[in-house]
Amino acid sequence: MFKAPDGDSDLIKKVAVVTGAARGIGLATVKQLISEGWYVAMLDVDAVANSEAHQSLSDATNVIAIACDISSPESVAAAAERVMSQWSRVDALVNNAGIAIFKPALETTFEEWSQVLDVNLSGAFICSQIFARLMLQGGKGGAIVNITSISATRASTLRVAYGTSKAGLVHLTKQLGAELGTLGIRVNAVSPGPVETAMAKQVHTPEIRSDYHDAIPLGRYGLEEELAKAIYFLCSDQSSYINGETLNVDGGFAATGIGLASFRNTSPE
């Protein structure tokens, strides 16, 4: 804990900014941070859902909700101003906001491609740049956690824009880890396997669900809370010597090659 910058005798804890905070993995991360005593700024482009999510929290005392489109530098700059006027510091940024358009490569329009890249990759760059500058003002460094995907490292059908955007985000994690690491800001990523969120409900067909079952040793989707715990670990001092790394939280998907489905079929129950 540290003293409030205005000299107020109240002690405030660390401040985190979470993008895409209105639901899913983002909202679970907000709850995890609150449970650890952090102050949290919830950013989301869906102002109504974000406000409702904020109101639904059992303890929203040290939480603010800010409408923000992370693909717009102006919108992110305004959100940063709001965070600074509230707490005068930022210790962690979770670049979680993302969108998915699953379509065959030859049917994906340039507009769809651009939309996905603008949010998933450029949005994380914009937020990292703006909030890292604020972390440096605090003089104590900080942590950035990017939410990538198993689609970043293993190509698949239908994910030409989504998978490419997330692969870019894995490399952005390394680039920023290299540069910002020298300034005391650690930059890491969490790569989720499939998680039963609104996004998954929108793009995961029964065929995709069956494919995942055949490719994940743990044989199930991840829980939002399981992702939130890993994200929190990388925000916290518990991971103080981890930088530029991508942590797979995917039930073993990335570790596995061929043979899983046939092994399941022949294994004794």
What is the token pair recorded at 252?
Answer: 């073993």
Binding flag, residue 192, ligand NAD (CB under 6 A)? yes
Name the minimum Å distance from CB 87 to ligand NAD: 20
With CB under 6 A, what is the number of residues at the site for ligand NAD? Answer: 31
Q: Which residues contact 206 (CB under 8 A, 6 or more apart)?
A: none
Binding flag, residue 71, ligand NAD (CB under 6 A)? yes
Footprint (CB under 6 A) of ligand NAD, residues 47-66: 49
Binding flag, residue 99, ligand NAD (CB under 6 A)? yes
> Cβ distance 25 to 224 under 8 Å?
yes
> Cβ distance 44 to 19 under 8 Å?
yes
Q: What is the distance between the terminal CA atoms of the chain, rounded to a whole angstrom? A: 51
Binding flag, residue 168, ligand NAD (CB under 6 A)? no
What is the token pair recorded at 9?
Answer: 């005798």
Binding flag, residue 101, ligand NAD (CB under 6 A)? no
Handedness of CA 1, 57, 204, 110 (dihedral sign): negative
Rg (CA), the chain: 19
The single residue among 12, 15, 18, 20 that binds ligand NAD, judged by CB under 6 A, is: 20
CA distances, 91 to each of 9, 71, 88, 97 (Å): 20, 21, 10, 18
The single residue among 119, 158, 167, 235 that binds ligand NAD, judged by CB under 6 A, is: 119
Is residue 221 part of the annotated active site? The answer reads: no
Active-site residue (options: 39, 162, 212, 221)? 162
Q: Which residues are catalytic?
A: 162
Summarize as ranges the residues that interact with ligand NAD (CB under 6 A).
19-20, 22-26, 44-46, 49, 68-71, 96-100, 119, 123, 147, 149, 192, 194-195, 197-200
